[in-house]
Amino acid sequence: MDPQTLTELLDVSVLDRLDRIEDLPADELARSSALRKEGYSAEVTAALLTQAQLRKDAVKKLGPFAEDMLFTRDGLAQATRLPVAAHHARRLLGEGKDTGGDEGADDSADAADSTPSIADLGCGIGADSFAFAGMGAQVTAVDADEVTAAIATFNLRHLANASAAHARAEDSDTSTFDALWFDPARRTVGKGTNSGSTARIFDPEDFSPSLSWVIDKALAAKAAGVKLGPALDHSLIPDEAEAQWVSHLGEVVEVCLYFGEARQRPGRSALVMGERTLLVHEDDLPADDEDGVGELGRYLLEPDGAIVRAGLVTALCGPLQARRVHPKIAYLTTDVEPSGPASAGVTTYEVTDVLPAKIPSLRKALISRGIGSVVIKKRGADIVPDQVRRQLKLPAGDKATLVFTRLGDRHVVLLTQPC
Ligand SMILES: C[S@@+](CC[C@H](N)C(=O)[O-])C[C@H]1O[C@@H](n2cnc3c(N)ncnc32)[C@H](O)[C@@H]1O
């Protein structure tokens, strides 16, 4: 969306039309011609249709708030999911820390002074800022993209304690804030904000702002958080930081580096957020250097991706009475069906058979067991699941999950059922 179209979209009557867009026929063409008949330009009509779609798409990340917000496609793709943003807010606001306030003091000036201030330096459409302000912080947000900054301003309009401006992080005075938040852009900018033609940036110095600039600022701050992609090379994590990988509803969404007062426990940790929450920390790793490999048991356990990315798979061995199937493969095995808090960190499959990995023998073995439909998983096996499924050409039959992996030096296929 270009700045001129955004200005037109921000007109009260146009926004009102967006809020009532469901009154129009659902069919896109019919909707478009109805809007044109009402006098909207081609650009504003396209913007209204795009915003209506983006609001729908955004509900998954931002819940009902999405219905009252504006987006760019890139901005929505990069926005933090609200429950995860609330977790960032708790960390920056020092949740669980003693505030040291005077007992019984009820002076409003003191109360105002104690409101923590957070700078969001590259705020996007404002999802993190929304959570920071919603949880009581005084938020100053900036974004280097003019349209994105204007959209963040709109999205934060109901929060008196938050504002957004069009500015570069590098030009901001960061010295006066209680906490700094960074979520550097890690994709190239698409041609036209809604084109979706972006590509991942691999060199951290090409992030915007660059990772070295961000880390320098974070190290100097009272408290800071830096959101990065979960594939981050562990060697880039400064010793002073706590690195926490986060998954939400089964998807690994980020690694976040916390500094200063936002750092709770140094080292690596994994936070599994979903129906149940699990926190696994580097200190939970077994003390010995053993790789923990053992015989295949009755169950195969697939650890959550955040735990895998954090390099903490063996931390689950003790609580789940489990062992690894191979020193380099992130599957565990156990004879006892997982229960208790640590079971939130794995998906469990009951192993019913160990089958040969060669396609003709595998096909024969599956047909003889009446299996006709397979979900294929792999770790440590050089296969392309869709290709294998096509090669198997199974006749109709029961459903099963096939796990292509290694037991010691042997390439095997485990025939399993999800528990
Ligand atoms: C990953 S997004 C932030 C998403 C945000 N945390 C959210 O949850 O909505 C990164 C943003 O940084 C902005 N940006 C890139 N370089 C910047 C810079 N030097 N200063 C300020 N903002 C910048 C981009 O325009 C983009 O909107």
Q: Is 183 in the pocket of ligand 1 (CB under 6 A)?
A: yes
Please state the rounded mean pLDDT for residues 70-82: 97
Residue 181 has pLDDT above 80, yes or no: yes
Q: Is 407 in the pocket of ligand 1 (CB under 6 A)?
A: no
pLDDT at 418: 94
CA distance 335 to 279: 24
Residue 288 has pLDDT above 90, yes or no: no
Please state the rounded mean pLDDT for residues 48-72: 97
pLDDT at 196: 54
User: Which residue is closest in CA terms to ligand 1's atom 26?
Assistant: 124
Sheet containing 410-418, strands listed edge to edge, beginning at the edge strand earlier in sequence: 323-326, 329-334, 299-303, 346-356, 410-418, 398-407, 371-378
pLDDT at 194: 47
Please state the rounded mean pLDDT for residues 255-265: 96
| Residue 244: both structure tokens together | 């926490």
Q: How much of the chain, in percent, has pLDDT values that exceed 90?
A: 85
Q: What is the per-residue pLDDT across 191-215, written as a single tens digit (0 to 9) for each?
A: 544 445 678 888 999 999 999 999 9
How does residue 149 score in pLDDT terms, banded at 50, 70 and 90? Answer: very high
pLDDT at 290: 65
Residue among 73, 74, 87, 143 to mutate when testing ligand 1 (max atoms within 8 A of CB): 143
Residue among 61, 142, 183 to mutate when testing ligand 1 (max atoms within 8 A of CB): 183
Report pTM: 0.91
Q: What is the per-residue pLDDT across 77-134, written as a single tens digit (0 to 9) for each?
A: 999 999 999 999 999 998 755 444 444 444 444 544 589 999 999 999 999 999 999 9
pLDDT at 222: 96
- DSSP states along 8-61: HHTSHHHHHHHHTGGGS-SSHHHHHHHHHHTT--HHHHHHHHHHHHHHHHHHHH
